[in-house]
């Protein structure tokens, strides 16, 4: 794409948004102009995410309108009875989220597709639930999850309440690619849409139904003395998480006051990611003051939750997503004795094996899917239709969890409630959550995980990521420490290589640019370019007989892999 021509085209638009024009005219750095216009902001199978601002490689009302127009075209090509069911739209606390949501509603409304717009910010899992509850044709969430304040994003959901999977997403991407002029897309105002009843507001009634669905998964604790510190990290979790915990009986919940209210600047947490220990600094101080048993924190769109407890020295431990997931799998399966024999736990290919080993010890089947909760949701819908399995629990290492069939996306509301329920369960036995984790390790082995994320932006970054992936497809990596490499999976080629027998077999999963190296002691590492950020992610999972052994092996493996990169 000729970035100079694209830049000039924007400036030549007579009706260009005033703020975006002012922003463009203030840019003097040629590199900045190139980055904004050298390509269109990509809508991939995971949706669209990018920095906000002027330009076709930025999130703004025009790029949002383009994607929504493509979605409308996609729906209108389906059976008429389908698109007439409408599209549900939710958004989080980020700057411009409300504006982008109204833009999407206005585009759909002008096309004759009913838009159900949430009246205020709501958690992403409530959107998933609402699509199913309203039997809508699909859904949209305006969010950039845990990204810094400069970012926003756009995710599309199918009629089952799950994010669009490969076939549907490819058809939608094809429709978007046909749109040539992003400045010529008709949009109705919110007032027009409400007057014509083609845009409808969603609010309290849906909140009540969502709360009922979440609490039905949990065991009430009316006499609980559990002390909880909670932070919504300036996002959409504040009201739904507190409401669910209160209805379940947790009366000693203290919210971090500085992080309670929605704030698109994320003033106290510039990187509002519950994987990052620094976001819990205020919560830890508050936990010390009130003697809390547990700290929980949800990301801005409230689909992921971080958990902080105390170790045996009384120091705060931020649990990894793998640790929390394994604990929840163990607790949920041993307390839900009414689950049928065909129960299944679903996790992703970059999630630790510990949760799977724990699930099998409770008689559950375990399935691995590609990275992204949408693949867990896809399996849930398939099993609901076929009856092959009964979904019990799904999770991924990036702090996303779900129990129950009311939604098709990870839910930090139900996960927060289950973490409190689980912590209370162990507290009544005189155990901390950390001690419960040590119990799992003692029984099943020590599993230590880590993730390295290399940020490689722009044209050069994209080329570097491609080169790294291609090099690792041919690299010789015999093993590390006393672990021997026994398997190499190339999910883009769809081939699993058994290095002991030399046999190659087909991987029964959609194609995805992921490489996974598997060793003979349950250890592994994987490389995956992010679908929503300019990053290459390297995942590590290492096992050992002791925590010290596993940690040392992990550091050795990390060094070998990063040296190769």
- CB-based contacts of 433-439 (< 8 A; 24+ apart in sequence): 433/294, 433/307, 433/309, 433/319, 433/327, 434/309, 434/310, 434/311, 434/312, 434/317, 435/312, 436/327, 436/331, 437/319, 437/323, 437/326, 437/327
- What band does 1 get if pLDDT is binned at 50, 70 and 90? confident
Closest CA relative to residue 562, chosen from 473, 470, 451, 461: 451
CB atoms inside a 10 Å sphere around CB 267:
12
Percentage of the chain modeled with pLDDT above 70: 99
What number of H helices and E strands is found in the chain? 19, 23
Average pLDDT over residues 332-342: 97
Average pLDDT over residues 169-181: 94
Percentage of the chain modeled with pLDDT above 90: 90
* pLDDT tens readout for residues 539-554: 999 999 999 999 999 9
Average pLDDT over residues 407-414: 98
Strand partners, 51: 151
Report the chain's terminal Cα–Cα distance, integer Å: 30
- What band does 482 get if pLDDT is binned at 50, 70 and 90? confident
d(CA 498, CA 475): 16
- Quick one: tokens of 113? 């597709």
d(CA 132, CA 127): 9
- Quick one: tokens of 214? 């979440």
Q: pTM here?
A: 0.94
Residue 532 has pLDDT above 90, yes or no: no
* pLDDT tens readout for residues 183-237: 999 999 999 999 999 999 999 999 999 999 999 999 999 989 999 999 999 999 9
The pLDDT of residue 476 is 81
- Quick one: tokens of 255? 């919210």
Range with the lowest mean pLDDT among 182-186, 397-401, 455-459?
455-459
- What band does 458 get if pLDDT is binned at 50, 70 and 90? confident
* pLDDT tens readout for residues 429-445: 999 999 999 999 999 99
Strand partners, 347: 368, 395
Residues found in the chain = 565
The pLDDT of residue 250 is 98
Annotated active-site residue in 93, 97, 128, 145: 145
d(CA 124, CA 236): 9
Residue 81 has pLDDT above 70, yes or no: no
Closest CA relative to residue 398, chosen from 292, 479, 323: 323
The pLDDT of residue 422 is 98
Range with the lowest mean pLDDT among 44-48, 137-141, 169-173, 434-438?
44-48
The pLDDT of residue 71 is 96
The torsion angles phi and psi of 442, rounded to 5 degrees, stand at -60, -35
Told to judge if 128 belongs to the known catalytic residues of this protein, a careful annotator would answer: no
- What band does 165 get if pLDDT is binned at 50, 70 and 90? confident
Strand partners, 309: 317
Range with the lowest mean pLDDT among 69-73, 81-85, 128-132, 285-289?
81-85
Element (H, E) at 37: helix 30-37
The pLDDT of residue 80 is 62
The torsion angles phi and psi of 301, rounded to 5 degrees, stand at -100, 10
Element (H, E) at 359: helix 354-361
Radius of gyration (C-alpha) of the chain in whole angstroms:
24
Lookup result for tokens 């950020």: 533
Q: What is the mean pLDDT of the chain?
A: 95
Residue 83 has pLDDT above 80, yes or no: no
- What band does 501 get if pLDDT is binned at 50, 70 and 90? very high
The pLDDT of residue 79 is 67
* pLDDT tens readout for residues 132-151: 999 999 999 999 999 999 99
Residue 530 has pLDDT above 90, yes or no: no
Average pLDDT over residues 345-358: 96
């Amino acid at each position: 794409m000729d970035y100079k021509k694209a830049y000039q085209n924007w400036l030549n638009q007579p009706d260009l948004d005033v703020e975006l024009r002012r922003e463009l005219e203030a840019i003097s750095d040629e590199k900045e102009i190139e980055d904004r216009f050298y390509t269109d902001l990509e809508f991939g199978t995971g949706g669209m995410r990018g920095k906000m601002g002027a330009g076709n490689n930025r999130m703004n009302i025009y790029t949002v309108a383009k994607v929504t127009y493509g979605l409308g075209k996609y729906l209108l090509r389906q059976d008429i009875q389908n698109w007439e069911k409408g599209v549900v739209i939710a958004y989080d606390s980020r700057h411009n989220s409300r504006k982008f949501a109204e833009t999407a509603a206005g585009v759909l409304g002008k096309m004759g597709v009913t838009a159900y717009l949430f009246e205020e910010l709501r958690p992403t899992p409530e959107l998933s639930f609402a699509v199913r509850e309203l039997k809508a044709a699909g859904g949209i969430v305006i969010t950039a999850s845990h990204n810094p304040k400069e970012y926003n994003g756009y995710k599309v959901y199918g009629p089952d309440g799950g994010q669009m999977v490969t076939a549907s997403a490819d058809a939608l991407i094809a429709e978007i690619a046909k749109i040539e002029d992003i400045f010529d897309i008709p949009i109705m105002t919110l007032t027009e849409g409400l007057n014509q009843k083609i845009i409808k507001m969603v609010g309290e009634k849906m909140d009540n139904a969502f709360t009922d669905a979440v609490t039905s998964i949990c065991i009430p604790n009316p006499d609980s003395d559990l002390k909880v510190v909670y932070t919504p990290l300036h996002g959409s979790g504040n009201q739904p998480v507190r409401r669910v915990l209160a209805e379940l009986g947790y009366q000693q919940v203290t919210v971090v006051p500085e992080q309670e209210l929605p704030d698109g600047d994320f003033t106290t947490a510039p990187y509002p990611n519950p994987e990052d220990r620094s976001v819990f600094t205020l919560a830890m101080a508050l936990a010390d003051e009130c003697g809390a048993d547990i700290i929980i924190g949800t990301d801005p769109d409230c689909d992921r939750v971080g958990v902080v407890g105390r170790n045996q020295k009384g120091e705060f431990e931020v649990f990894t997503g793998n640790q929390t997931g394994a604990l929840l799998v163990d607790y949920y399966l041993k307390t839900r004795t009414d689950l049928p024999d065909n129960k299944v736990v679903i996790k992703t290919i970059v999630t630790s094996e510990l949760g799977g080993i724990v699930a099998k010890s409770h008689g559950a089947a375990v399935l691995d899917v590609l990275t992204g909760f949408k693949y867990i949701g896809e399996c849930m819908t398939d099993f609901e239709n076929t009856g092959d399995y009964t979904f019990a629990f799904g999770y991924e290492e990036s702090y996303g969890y779900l129990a129950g069939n009311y939604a098709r996306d990870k839910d930090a509301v139900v996960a927060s409630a289950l973490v409190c329920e689980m912590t209370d369960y162990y507290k009544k036995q005189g155990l901390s959550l950390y001690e419960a984790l040590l119990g799992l390790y003692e029984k099943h082995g020590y599993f230590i995980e880590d993730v390295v994320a290399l940020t490689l932006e722009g044209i050069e970054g994209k080329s570097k990521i491609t080169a790294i992936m291609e090099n690792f497809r041919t690299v010789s990596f015999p093993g590390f420490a006393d672990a021997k490499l026994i398997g190499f999976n190339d999910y883009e080629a769809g081939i699993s290589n058994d290095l002991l027998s030399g046999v190659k077999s087909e991987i029964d999963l959609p194609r995805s640019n992921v490489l996974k190296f598997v060793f003979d002691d349950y250890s592994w590492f994987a490389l995956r370019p992010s679908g929503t950020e300019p990053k290459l992610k390297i995942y590590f999972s290492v096992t050992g007989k002791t925590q010290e052994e596993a940690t040392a092996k992990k550091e050795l493996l990390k060094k070998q892999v990063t040296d190769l990169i």
